[in-house]
Amino acid sequence: MFRHQGKGRTFRHNLRVATLLSFVAGVVNVSGFLAIGRLTTNVTGHFAFFVDEVFKLEFWTGLVYFLFIFFFLLGSFVSNLLIETFSRNDLGFPFAFPALIEALILFLIGFLGSSESLDPNVIAYSLLFSMGLQNSFVTKISNYTVRTTHLTGLFTDLGIELSQLFFYKGIDQRHQLLKSIKLRLSIIGFFFLGGICGGIFYTKFGLLVLCIASSILIIGLVYDHAKFRFITLRRKFKLGGLKS
């Protein structure tokens, strides 16, 4: 799910990566808000607060909100920069590296943030950077089909597609439409599930819940790599058997 691109990428690949990453984003969204009272997976609200502070001439507070937006943008920039660099230099597995960085950030913030030694704004900057990383590489790998860190666009697309069910009667059209609806409902459902789990476990472990989200991401990467290696070895054995 972290490897296939272009024509080799299927609906199942997108569904798997979407559910995994939307669950992680849901955990980050709720646990981050409970810990520091900030939105840590999207920047829409921060932009409104930034404009409000500028109009009130509270430039220092406005700068903080601007930095929230900037770090999400920076995460997206860094993610795609790494993907392009790895792809163009044939370094292998370009989408795994941004995911590993995200997992590392979540682990460090979960571990250090739970001790209350980090400034709340630093926590927000770090989580927004990690969500920028995630949103960028999942958008890129799915060819702009999947986004996992916020739901506004998803609900818009879902509303459009549900309305299209009244008009698209062709078998192929309806089949594609239902698959797209299933994908969006899965993202929304797992984001919601991640939020519930994040809230429940935050009450018990505080920001250490982010270490759980990090572990889930690592498990997904390890599983994907192991499955890829298994399929590669199986193909080699088959080719070897055919040659003999």
Q: What is the mean pLDDT of the chain?
A: 89
pLDDT digits (tens, 9 = 90+) for 134-146: 999 999 888 888 8
Q: How confident is the model at residue 203 (pLDDT cuts 50, 70, 90)?
A: very high
Q: How confident is the model at residue 3 (pLDDT cuts 50, 70, 90)?
A: low
For the beta carbon of residue 73, count every other beta carbon within 10 angstroms: 15
Q: How confident is the model at residue 40 (pLDDT cuts 50, 70, 90)?
A: very high
- Here the contacts of 58-65 (C-beta below 8 Å, separation 24 or greater) are 64/121
* pLDDT at residue number 164: 93
Task: Give the tokens for residue 32.
Answer: 């981050």
Which of 52-61, 85-94, 111-120, 184-193 is predicted most confidently? 184-193
- Taking the C-alpha atoms of residue 71 and residue 128, their distance in angstroms, rounded to an integer, is 6
DSSP strand E in the chain: where? Answer: none
Q: 171-205 and 152-164 are packed helices; what angle lies between their axes, rounded to 10 degrees? A: 150
pLDDT digits (tens, 9 = 90+) for 213-242: 999 999 999 888 888 777 777 777 776 655
Higher pLDDT, 239 or 118: 118
* pLDDT at residue number 75: 96
| Mean pLDDT value across residues 50-74 | 94
Looking at residue 38, the DSSP 8-state letter turns out to be S
- Taking the C-alpha atoms of residue 121 and residue 171, their distance in angstroms, rounded to an integer, is 51
Name the CATH architecture for the domain at 6-243: Up-down Bundle (1.20)
**How large a percentage of the chain has pLDDT more than 70?**
93
> Is 118 a residue whose pLDDT tops 90?
no
Written as one string, the DSSP assignment of 18-52 is HHHHHHHHHHHHHHHHHHHSS--S--HHHHHHHHH
Higher pLDDT, 184 or 225: 184
Locate tokens 């505080």: which residue? Answer: 206
> Is 104 a residue whose pLDDT tops 90?
yes
For the beta carbon of residue 19, count every other beta carbon within 10 angstroms: 22
Q: How confident is the model at residue 2 (pLDDT cuts 50, 70, 90)?
A: low
Widest distance between CA atoms in the chain: 78
* pLDDT at residue number 170: 85
- Taking the C-alpha atoms of residue 25 and residue 27, their distance in angstroms, rounded to an integer, is 5
Reduce the DSSP state of residue 66 to 3 states and report it: helix
Q: Which of 140-144, 155-159, 207-211, 232-236 has the lowest average pLDDT?
A: 232-236
Annotated domain spans of the chain: 6-243
| Mean pLDDT value across residues 142-161 | 89
> Is 27 a residue whose pLDDT tops 70?
yes
Written as one string, the DSSP assignment of 83-150 is HHHHHHTT-S-TTHHHHHHHHHHHHHHHHHHTTT-S-HHHHHHHHHHHHHHHHHHHHHHTTS----S-
* pLDDT at residue number 91: 67
